[in-house]
Structure 1
Amino acid sequence: MGMSLQTSQAQAADPTGPDANALYQQHCASCHGADRLGGTGPALLPENMGRLKPKQAAKVIAEGRAATQMIGYKNQIDAAGIQALVDYIFTPLPEIPRWGEAEILASHIQHHPPGSLPDKPKFQADIDNLFIVVELGDHHATLLDGDSFEPIHRFPTRYALHGGPKYAEGGRYVYFASRDGWISKFDTFNLTYVAEVRAGINSRNLAVSHDGRFVMVANYLPHNLVILDAATLKPVKLIEARDLRGNSSRVSAVYTADPRSSFIVALKDVPEVWEISYQIPPPKGFGQWIHDHRDDSGEQNEANHFPIRRILVEDYLDDFFLTQDYSQIAGTARGGEGQVVDLDLGRVVASIDLPGMPHLSSGISWPWNNTTVLATPNIRANSISLFDIETWQPVKEIETLGPGFFMRSHENSPYAWVDVFFGKHSDAMHVIDKQSLEIVKTLRPAPGKTSAHVEFTKDGRYALVSIWDLDGALVIYDAKTLEEIKRLPMKKPSGKYNVHNKLSRSSGTSH
């Protein structure tokens, strides 16, 4: 696929320099794929690098990477060759690679057919109070008992999980998405994967329909949405992300709007928000519906479902908060001004001032002064922004020690917790009183190490904090007294996800 063009691009600056393509094919292709789309190793494309910078990539090539199969090549490739490889893998492909239904089906792995495993858990625990803890340090996840805070099972995951795992069927099944597009279905009862499939080349996240029938995957590469059968992970339908004029777009995220029986889709490059119904038949406003969609066998053909309702917006909204009743979304626009979209009316109904690039998908809400406030951390400002959801007017800016990324609370807790993920104070965790709207305590669970991503037990009694470090830990706090209860060593734990809070759509956590 376009190798000659890629080679000429990589060598354009210095045609007499090392042959980057030859070096890649010799040392990298066997693991990362001859076309850089991935194999046993991750895809080596700019979109798939995450936060890895070119200087860091050069170090990985030279020295290898801990907790992976990546070895160091400094004794085989000189400094000029390593730099040529870095330039090569950070060069975009000349065209969007194809990854269609045939490629998806070819990648499909069925570890255990549906219905072949016992319906009884192999362990004794409250399923509602289980956590999945994602450990990015060595690409594992831990199933944690939320009552005893003892690990039940630790298991490997695909490389670089992206977007939170999603539960179905009361917590029995959990679905993971990796940056490289691998979707994995894990059976918590039997502590094993049951199916996997590569739904894209670069994926952002996934959502599961509330009835447990469908999984929708949002892709950067290719520009599409992929709908999978939740039972088998086989593809049901692929939807190209294009506006009415045919302009193509990356898909930023997909969310499940349970009360609406629909998926809400954020698009990166076109000013539209999509609502895709999985209700049969869909509600009015989703276009004409033909009731008898059947294939040659006489079975109803699911691929004919999922009509799109396009909502035109005034600017690109690639990150947004959904109100608790799923009637409105508040989205982040690139210019700094936010927009509020009413999903029932199908149009923009308000604008909001968002000076600090809020991380609205991490926003939470709670009752306050006879109204409801939305609170969101800011990626580019040292503050928490609060808005009245009924009027969308600003309520307050709470000054913090630096920009934050994740904010969490619980209906039974008087406090909201927010990290200071970016900057020199990343070891701090602010605790905010939800009524006074003041910081009442700043915790430092591990001085000098980043603390992030709080999640609560199902009753809100305990708060779990990640120490985002290879030599990290999960720190459990009494959510009322703010005293540390327990600490579990872990390999760069990131998100942790409680079954009850996720399935009940708690207002204190992201959806």
Structure 2
Amino acid sequence: MRWLSLSLLAALLAAPAAAQPDGTALYGQHCAACHGAERLGGRGPALLPESMGRLRPAAAAEVIAKGRPATQMPGFASQLSGSEIEALAAHLFRPAPAGLRWDAAEIETSRQVLVPPEQLPARPVFDADPLNLFLVVETGDHHVTVLDGDRFVPIRRFPTRPALHGGPKFSADGRFTYLMSRDGWVTKYDLYSLQPVAEVRAGINSRNVALSSDGRFVAVANYLPRSLVLLNAGDLSVKRVIPAVGLRGGTTSRVSAVYDARPRRSFVVAMKDTPEVWEVSYDDDAPPVYTGLVHNHEKGMAEGLAASAGLFALRRIAVEEPLDDFMFDPAYRNLLGSAREGGRAVVVNLTVGRPVAEVPLEGLPHLGSGITWMEGGRRLMATPNLKRPEVDVIDMADWSIAARIPTDGPGFFLRSHERTPYAWTDSMMGAPGARDTIQVIDKRSMQVVRRLRPAPGRTAAHVEFTRDGRHALVSVWEDDGAVVVYDTETFEEVTRLPMRRPSGKYNVFNKIALSEGTSH
């Protein structure tokens, strides 16, 4: 028996180690049909580190095992072992394939015109006010609900590409909206006939879109590939692809966001990795601007490099550190921008093309959700903070702090309207006990005067106002959530509509009219 045991031990020691699961092979077998052989997406979304946001391998493994409710993603726990699921999840977080290209040719190949313009109706196919519609993005099952903003009844609910982001953009007449997914799909949707009319994939991982004020161009900010893409707004055909290459050593950058600056007839672009802000003109007669600056030490000044003019003339503004989030003053002369860990915001004057002031904002302001209003002859700007339980109010005359308003927890969205003296903000970034609360701030006294809990114990988020400012819509941000409608004078609940994890709600009129109470 002793000899047999030793022989068995020797055999075990000589045997090769158990093979580790091959994540690449598992992906090809179980995932490639929906998500693409290169993880670039197909019927399902792209599965690249840049595309999965805050999702971590452990959470990805749970999705692989259990699936995702209300989507076509099945669970694989009955087919794969725990180690196989872990290997597959790890494979998803490998870097994007080397030499990945998504340039004009690839973009154009993806483009589809679904409904020719001549087949579209002249008037809406419904009897609601087309300018008081809301688009409600339901992230729980990747749908958008078109909501009548007068009667608060859904008009149409339609499926979208997964993970819409950055907010829809509307044409000047409110007829068309442009939606963008994290996977870079841009969809043009006709709100009169309630159907998508064109679609294109402008990137592999995209951040947001902007629509030029003249309705001619759509700009797409990409993380992957690192580029700014300009499309014709009519049929979404490619107009230009601009690689995001910085001035200093040719460093490439992810593009954090792109915004339309209506009075300037330009797109303003935020860079994630290089310390500069871009302005890209869509004026056919734009005067010459310099494509770059270099410091001349003998003269002690910055000098221009090669100049460009006309359509898509590119102007670069140097800053000390990348500004990946910002908002504008109403005249679009200044932008207030912040870096992720900077502890301050920088005021960049777009007229002179340089920073002109700093503002101490240490709570990681969410400037993309900032608002402005007039009070006592002063133009005030306010922003929530992602890391501090306060709303910061800034006097735009001298960029000083006018007030710091305590809230129950750090917030993400701040909204108001010209016809109400109140601003509404959430605490959705705070502790569980605070996330269910909407705080109503009096813009005159700059004090919290009311607290609303649409669903106690459940996350409340993203307020948006109706066209006339008489009602405010709040999201209960849960898979079995709701949109709750409040009277903005009495703060009483008017109605609630069940929704699947409703996120942003976007009012057509407030967006195209550049309401001072909402983001642009």
TM-score, normalization by structure 1: 0.93
1:484-510: CA deviation from partner (whole Å, max 9, x where unpaired): 111111111110111111001111100
C-alpha contact (below 8 Å) 1:281/1:289 kept by paired residues: no
User: Which residue does the alignment assign to 2:174?
Assistant: 171
Report 1:413-428 matches (<5 A). 413-422=420-429, 423-424=431-432, 425-428=434-437
Pick from 273, 278, 295 the counterpart of residue 274 of structure 1: 278
The alignment status of 1:255 with 2:264, answered yes or no, reads: no
Partners of 2:18 and 2:470 in 1: CA distance: 63
Give the direction of change, closer, same or farther, for the CA distance of 1:18–1:330 in structure 2 (3 Å limit).
same
Which range moved further: 45-54 or 473-482?
A: 45-54
Alpha-carbon spacing, 1:29–1:418, altered in 2? closer, same or farther (3 Å) = same
Matched residue, 2:14: none
**Alignment gaps of 5+ in structure 2:** 1-16, 292-306
Q: Distance in 2 between matches of 1:481 and 1:96?
A: 58
Report what 2:342 is aligned to: 335
The share of aligned pairs that are identical, in percent, is 55
Q: What CA distance in whole angstroms lies between the structure 2 residues aligned with 1:260 and 1:250?
A: 24
For 1:510 and 1:483, locate their aligned partners in 2 and report how far apart those are by CA, in whole Å.
25
Aligned: 1:493 with 2:493? no
Contact 2:422–2:442, Cα closer than 8 Å, also in 1? yes
Deviations 1:80-125 (A, max 9, x none): 0111111111122253621011111111111012232111110112
Query: Are the equivalent residues in 2 in contact too, given 1:114–1:232 (CA < 8 A)?
Result: no
Deviation >4 Å, runs of 4+: 286-291
Task: Give the 3-state SS of the residue equivalent to 1:309 in structure 2.
Answer: strand
The separation in 2 between residues aligned to 1:95 and 1:321, in whole angstroms, is 35
The 2-side partners of 1:421 and 1:101 are apart by 39
Partner of 2:457: 448
SS at match of 2:479: coil
Name the residue aligned to 1:201. 204
Per-residue CA shift, 1:256-275, capped at 9, x if unaligned? 01111100100000000011
1:315-394 superposed matches below 5 A: 315-333=321-339, 334-394=341-401
> Alignment partner for residue 488 of structure 2, among 462, 475, 479?
479
Partner of 1:307: 313
Contact 2:288 2:309 in 1 (8 A): no
- Structure 2 partner of 1:53: 56
User: What is aligned with 1:299?
Assistant: none
8 Å CA contact 2:289–2:309 kept in 1: the answer is no
- CA distance in 2 between counterparts of 1:94 and 1:142 reads 36
Displacement after TM superposition at 1:373 (Å): 1.3
* Equivalent-residue separation in structure 2 for 1:306 and 1:217 (angstroms): 14
Aligned residues between the structures: 485
Cα pair 1:96 1:221 within 8 Å, conserved: no
Q: Which residue of 1 aligns with 2:9?
A: none
Matching residue within 68, 74, 89 for 2:92: 89
* In structure 1, distance between residues paired with 2:288 and 2:101: 34
Report the 3-state secondary structure (helix = DSSP H, G, I; strand = E; otherwise coil) of the residue aligned with 2:119.
coil
C-alpha RMSD of matched pairs (Å): 1.4
Corresponding residue for residue 151 of structure 1: 154
Identify which range, 342-351 or 281-290, moves more after superposition. 281-290
The 1:147/1:342 distance shift into structure 2, 3 A limit, reads same
The Cα of 1:241 is off from its aligned counterpart by 0.5
Question: Which is higher, the Rg of structure 1 or of structure 2?
Answer: 2
Maintained 8 Å contact 2:437/2:453: yes
TM-aligned CA distance change 1:367 to 1:320, over 3 Å: same
Q: CA deviation at 1:432?
A: 0.2
Q: From the superposition, tell whether residues 117 and 216 of structure 1 become closer, same or farther in structure 2 (CA, over 3 Å).
A: same
